[in-house]
Amino acid sequence: MKLAEVPSVSQNPGELKKVIEIADGFLPAGLLRHHYEKETRPSAVVSFGEGKRPETLFLAHLDVVDAKPEQFRPRLDGDKLWGRGVLDMKGSAAVLLTLFRDLHNEGKKPSAALMLTTDEEIGSANGVAYLVRDEGWSADFVIIPDGGPNFTLVTKGKGAFHIRVESKGRSVHGSATWAGDNAIDRLIGFYDDLKKIFSVPEPCGDEGHWHETLNLGVINGGKKVNIVPDQAEASFDIRFTEAWTVRRVEETIRALAARHGVSFEIESTGEPFNIPKDEPHLVVFARCMEEVLGHPPVYGHEHGATDGRFFSERGIPTVITYPEGWGIHGDEEWVSVSSLAKLYDILKKYLEER
């Protein structure tokens, strides 16, 4: 598979451009193309008709995480295709490209578009976020084949809120602490209160862990053991369910920061998504999955942020699923070729029934 042979990692803009060109070259000339580039991150949207709001929007990213050189030489062993990105998510991208090619060649023109981006692995700021927020792309329903192992139908995902918090104090000799103001103490006080809101003690009793989480990922402060620190900073990763919104999280943090005398900078955010099972598009999609797979879909959720967050913040229903495979971001990544064929059948059936 040509897509999997391209080392389209974030630090190599030439290969990012190449992988978009390969995808573009695979599609027939009759499809409409929209090409973009922001901060050296190329992207493209392919559609059957005019306008930036199709009924169905498919999303695929063509960038991958770093890998050994041999992982960019994909190999087929029985039903398993091995290589970097074959599951995450160049295999599914190839399915989408083939689907759009076939529908065009059959003379069909569904209200559908395919968005291809190259920065999902580093946050999507110059890909999906840019295309949705600045270029105005939208849809009635979004399908992302990039999560939900073995056709688990993901209908809800947690939101994300990443912040860097800075604390200022007054430095004095460590033997005269009463004369100083310990910046680390201030930061710890803020952290303790943050945990009371966004951290659930384990074991939580929830098998699916569908609750808020807080991770203190980075902390720095102090110069020497005998000096009261006058500066400290920390970075926090908050994940939250549909019970919260980005705005409510920000308001809560702002109040805590004021109480403890610290400042904070928002590094990235994303709304949670939660699509009800009776949403009309989802009902059709789930029925198509059942007809192809031979059993009702298994519903699930995602703890990590996905590109679905950029659509959920606009109230656009979004679902996520992908084929059978294993080893994402590891040395033994593979995808089932037969399950890619099933993904093709599900997506084609869905478009034909809309």
Which of the four pLDDT bands, split at 50, 70 and 90, describes residue 251? very high
Distance, CA of 337 to CA of 323 (rounded, Å): 9
Residue ranges with strand state E in the chain: 32-38, 41-47, 56-61, 75-77, 80-82, 112-117, 141-144, 153-157, 159-168, 213-221, 231-240, 262-270, 273-274, 299-302, 318-320, 325-326, 334-336
Note whether 347 and 95 are within 8 A (CB).
Answer: yes
Q: Are residues 262 and 299 in the same domain?
A: no
Q: What is the pLDDT of residues 14-65, one digit of tens each?
A: 999 999 999 999 999 999 999 999 999 999 999 999 999 999 999 999 999 9
Read off the pTM: 0.88
Cα–Cα nearest to 98, from 21, 26, 47? 26
Q: Are residues 53 and 165 in the same domain?
A: no
Number of independent structural domains in the chain = 2
Cα–Cα nearest to 307, from 146, 107, 96, 73? 146
Residues 6+ apart with CB under 8 A from 152: 297, 298, 299, 300, 321
Q: Are residues 227 and 285 in the same domain?
A: no
Q: What is the pLDDT of residues 157-213, one digit of tens each?
A: 999 999 999 999 999 999 999 999 999 999 999 999 999 999 998 889 898 899 999
Q: Are residues 126 and 23 in the same domain?
A: yes
Which of the four pLDDT bands, split at 50, 70 and 90, describes residue 304? confident
Whole-number pLDDT of residue 306: 86
Q: Are residues 135 and 171 in the same domain?
A: no
Q: Are residues 125 and 166 in the same domain?
A: no
Percent of the chain with pLDDT over 70: 100
Whole-number pLDDT of residue 76: 97
Domain end point (choices 270, 304, 320):
270
Q: Are residues 12 and 137 in the same domain?
A: yes
Domain end point (choices 239, 270, 301):
270
Query: Does residue 1 have a pLDDT over 90?
Result: no
Please, what is the average pLDDT of the chain?
96
Whole-number pLDDT of residue 329: 94
Q: Are residues 19 and 123 in the same domain?
A: yes
Q: What CATH number is associated with residue 238?
A: 3.30.70.360
Which of the four pLDDT bands, split at 50, 70 and 90, describes residue 354? confident
Q: What is the pLDDT of residues 128-159, one digit of tens each?
A: 999 999 999 999 999 999 999 999 999 999 99
Whole-number pLDDT of residue 312: 87
Q: Are residues 262 and 291 in the same domain?
A: no
Q: What is the pLDDT of residues 211-226, one digit of tens each?
A: 999 999 999 999 999 9
The Cβ-side half-sphere exposure at 48, using a 13 Å CA radius, reads: 21
Q: What CATH number is associated with residue 134?
A: 3.40.630.10
Residue 182: domain span: 159-270
